[in-house]
Amino acid sequence: MSSAGHVSGRGIFNNLSLLLGGKTVAAIVSLVYILIVTRALGPSGFGVLVLVHGWTVTVGGIIAFSGWHGIVRYGAQALEAGDRSRLVRLARFTTLVELGCGLTAILFAAGFAGFAAPRLGIPDNLVWLTRIYALAIFANMLTTPVGILQLAGRFDRLALHPALSPSVRLVAVLIVWFGGGGIEGFLYAWLVSAISEGAFMWWLAWPVFREMRGGEPLLGPASARGENPGLVRFLATANADLTLRDIAPKAVPLIVGAILGPAATGIYSLAVRAAVILQQPAVQLAQASYPVIAKLLAAGELARARSLSWKTSFTTLAVAVPLVLLLAFFSRQILEIMGGKAFGSGAFVFILLMIGRAGMLAAVPLSSLLLAMGRTTASILVNIGINLFTLPLLVWLLSTDGLSGAGWYGAVTGIGSFVVLAMLLSLGNRRARVLQPEAEIAAAIDPTGNQDG
C-alpha cells in the first residue's frame, strides 16, 4: 500500500492543530501591536495605514505568483515515483516564475502609487512612502518553500512561521511607539515585518529541502514542463483561482476608503482583524487539507478524498457556528478593547463578517478537493461569480447602508462560497456514479486537466 493509504481525516486535523498553534501565538502578539497602533493613530490614521498596506497587497495578489499548489500536486507524484531530480527541477521552475512575477508586482505598485493614493484617501505626503512600501510584496512572492514543507509533512516548521513576522512587527511597533513616531514609523514597522516574513519561510524550509533533494545540485536546469504534463496550465488556473478568491477581501478596504474615507476603513479593518478568529483557521485549513487530499488522489483513492473533504467541511462548520453565536454577544466590547471607544460602532459589521467567515471556513475543504482533482476551471468560475462579480454589490451596499454594507457583503460572499461549492460537488458526485470506478479515478488524477468544468 502506498503512503497515501495511511492518510486520513486525522492527518488533516493533526496538521491543522500544528498550524493553529503557531497562529494562536501570532494572534496574541498581533493583538498587542494592534492595541498600540489603533490607540496611537485613531480610526482615521489606522485607516490610512490600512489603505497603504491594502494597495500593495492587492497589486501583489493580482500580479505576484504562487507556486506551492504545483509543488504539492506534482511533487507528490515525483516522490511517489521516487524521482528526486524531477522534484528539484520543479522547485527551480516555480521559484524563478515567482521571482519574475513578484518583481513585476513591486514595480507596478510603486509606479502607480501616485495615481492610486488620492483616489483611496491616502494623504499626498505619504505617496513617497507608499512607493517604498511596495517592497512588502516580498512577503508573499516566494511560496515554493511553503509547498516544500507541506510536501514533506513538516507542519511543525510551518507552525513556527506565523509567529515570527508578528513578533518582528511588535518589536518594531514598540520602538516607534516609545520613540514618539507617527504613521510613517508604523508603516516602516509593517514593511520590515513583511520583508522578514518571506525571508523566514525560506529559512525554515531550507534544511528540509536540502534533505529532500538528496544529492541533487541546487542550481541547474529548470525545465519542468515536459515531465509534468499540464503544469503550466495547472499553475496558471490555480493562481487565477487564488487571485479571484483573495481579490475581494483585499479590495474591500480600498473600496471602503474610496467611498467612505479612511476613518470608515479603520473601523472596518479592525472588525476584520477581530474576525480573524475564523479567517485564519480557514487559511490554515487550506494548507492542512490540500496536501492530504492531493496524496490520496495521487494514490488513486478518489472516493476517500471526496468523503474526507465533506467530513472536514461539516466538522469545521459545526465548530464555527457556536463560536460565532458566542462572540456576537460581546462584539462591541471586543472592538472597544482592541481599538478604543471610537471603534465600537463597528460591532454589527463584526458580527456579519463572522458569519461570512464561518461559511468560508466550511468552503475551504471543498475548494481544496476541486484543486487537487485538477478541476481548477470549476473553482475559478465559482470565485469569479462570488468574489469578482459581486463587487458592484459592495459599492451599492456602501452607498445605501454605509459601513454596515461592507458587513453584509462579507456575509453574503462567505455563505455563498460554501453553498455554490457544495452544490457543484454534489452534482459532480451524482454524475460520477454512472462512471466506471477505473475511469473515474483516471479522470480525477489526469494531470492534463482535461476533465475541468
Residues 6 or more apart in contact with residue 64 via CB below 8 angstroms: 98, 101, 102, 105, 137, 140, 141
Q: How far apart are CA 225 and CA 202, in angstroms?
A: 24
Query: pLDDT at position 3, please?
Result: 42
- Number of C-beta neighbours around residue 362 at 10 A: 28
Neighbour-count burial of 185, counting CB atoms closer than 10 A to its CB (0-12 exposed, 13-18 middle, 19+ buried)? middle
Closest-CA residue to 70 (of 99, 92, 90, 96): 90
Query: pLDDT at position 206, please?
Result: 86
Closest-CA residue to 366 (of 437, 428, 410): 428
Residue type, 289: S
Residue type, 306: R
Q: How far apart are CA 368 and CA 309, in angstroms?
A: 8
**Distances in Å between the alpha carbon of 345 and those of 40, 339, 351, 404, 426?**
18, 11, 12, 10, 40
Please report where in the chains the cell 484617501 appears, as a residue: 121
Average pLDDT, 10 consecutive residues per value, the chain (453 residues):
45 50 64 88 93 93 81 80 80 86 92 93 93 88 82 77 82 91 92 86 85 72 72 79 76 93 93 72 54 66 73 76 84 88 91 88 77 68 76 93 94 88 72 41 37 35
Query: pLDDT at position 447, please?
Result: 35
pTM score, two decimals? 0.74
